[in-house]
Structure 1
Amino acid sequence: MKTIEAPAEAEGKNREWSEEILLQEIRAWHRRGRPLYSHYMRQHYQELLAAGIRYFGSWEKAVEAAGISYSEVRRYQRWSKKHIVERIRALHAQGADLSFRALMLSPYAPMVYAAIRPVYFGSWKNALLAAGLAPADIYRYRSWKEADILREIRRLHAEGEDLSSKHMDERANSLIATARRRFGSWGAAVERAGLDYAKIRKRKRWTQAEIVNQIRALRERGVPLTSTEVRNREPSLFAAACKRRFFGSWREAVQAAVGEAAKRD
């Protein structure tokens, strides 16, 4: 059988192709879960693409000859807004780098191509926003070194932030995705920052009602409700009360709990 020598580049370097070898390679590429649409192949396995076209007249015919339905590998096939958002969230939970450049060089490039089409989101930024992620955070944390990540974890802890993985995931915070990528897991990153992750996982989840109840309990025990006293005695309560989503300041929290007469700060 006639063979064709492939160009000497990355994949298939100096390889002599035959129809049999070509079809075997297409099937092997497909089994590994790699995309087979032509644009991806042109970037990642140009030699296989070129050989397929030479033997079968088109890449689509080569893929079909390998027993694979080309309609299933087209880059826009089966995508929807819901599917794209779900995939982005799943990748984020896995700690994947969700920057445009990184995904365009990954097997998830078809999703990105679909996402930026006008019929879906029109841009990758809009797709991230639809998935509940902050594009600025995606790019902010992506370039951080390990020391930067650990410093940020310590800063958040000092401010009373809930560092449990559940809370960080709920906030769609890209810091946790970056930390997982660099340290293997969020818990490992927190431990490397010098914190006890076992205690953090058991940390109280605050609500406005719980904050009010805790302030009233302190008052009943005769504890002064000044910011200095409570910050030293109950730092997590103080930090939670001052969060914007609760009361925004200790003064407002005390006012809500016990009224104007009890405010001394």
Structure 2
Amino acid sequence: MATVSSDTVTTRKRKSWSKELVILTIQTRHLNGKILNPQDLQREDSSLLAAGRRYFGSWANALQAAHVPPIRRHWAMHHRRGYWTNDLLLQEIRRHAANGDPLYAHAMQAIDNCLVSAATYHFGSWADALEAAGFDPDAIRATRRHTAASVMEEIQRLLRSGAEVGDTVVRRHDYTLYRAAQKFFGTWQKAVEASRAELRAPRATE
């Protein structure tokens, strides 16, 4: 019976990757709250790490292509797999509330994306995590009253922070912003395009 060498298996794995598959895999891991720092990923999915570096030049570039915020050093050092517990997640949510941070999903993605990802993974959604922490998700959403300008400002803040702005993700995590974008711009995609265009436009100098 013929055997398959490890080199052959590695080659096949390499051929199975593409830029699109690398991006999709990163985004899926991100949404499921799974680790993406290179130190732990080397042990858990070295094939993905190698493919990301091969196609994009570096792992940081691969994360950027997938619209996933870069891994902060302190998260890579202290928030490894198995770090989060339900109690710790609720404690962190309450700490952010005590600090006066806005608790709606997209704002928290920019402030503490690892917390949002982990809470979504453990509780099923950010809204469910907020409710478990003693907050009313509907009341938090209701405090926001959008205008066309505020929609663009919010999207631009997300773009600058590297947060995911795909249609499905935003509809799931920040429906209030999504509906406001539809109201003022027709579709979410048009709102994103308008926000990107304004960011790229050169500013007039005095």
TM-score (norm 2): 0.52
Name structure 2 gaps, 5 residues minimum: 151-206
Distance 1:126 1:56 in 2: 40
Aligned CA distance change for structure 1 residues 169 and 93 (closer, same or farther; 3 Å): farther
Equivalent pairs: percent with the same residue? 29
Q: 2:63 aligns with which of 101, 125, 128?
A: 128
Aligned CA distance change for structure 1 residues 146 and 89 (closer, same or farther; 3 Å): same
Alignment of 1:75-114 (within 5 A): 75-80=14-19, 83-100=21-38, 102-106=40-44, 108-114=45-51
Q: Taking CA–CA contacts closer than 8 Å with sequence separation of 6 or more, which of the two structures ends up with the larger relative contact order?
A: 2
Residue-pair matches, total: 144
Task: Map Cα deviations across residues 86-140 of structure 1 (whole Å, 9 max, x no partner).
Answer: 432232123223233554455x5422121133x5233x34433553413116535
Which residue of structure 2 aligns with residue 58 of structure 1? Answer: 4
> How far is 1:191 from its partner?
1.9
Distance 2:115 2:56 in 1: 27
**C-alpha contact (below 8 Å) 2:120/2:126 kept by paired residues:** yes
Distance 2:145 2:57 in 1: 35
**C-alpha contact (below 8 Å) 2:32/2:118 kept by paired residues:** no
Q: Which structure is larger by alpha-carbon Rg, 1 or 2?
A: 1
Distance 2:25 2:111 in 1: 17
1:163 equivalent in alignment to 2:99 = no
Task: Map Cα deviations across residues 48-93 of structure 1 (whole Å, 9 max, x no partner).
Answer: xxxxxxx214348x98xxxxxx97x42253422x543343223212
**C-alpha contact (below 8 Å) 1:154/1:193 kept by paired residues:** yes
TM-score (norm 1): 0.42
Aligned CA distance change for structure 1 residues 172 and 92 (closer, same or farther; 3 Å): farther
Aligned CA distance change for structure 1 residues 171 and 132 (closer, same or farther; 3 Å): farther
Q: Stretches of 4+ moved more than 4 A in 1?
A: 169-172, 205-210
Higher helix share: 2
Which residue of structure 1 aligns with residue 199 of structure 2? Answer: none
Distance 1:196 1:121 in 2: 43
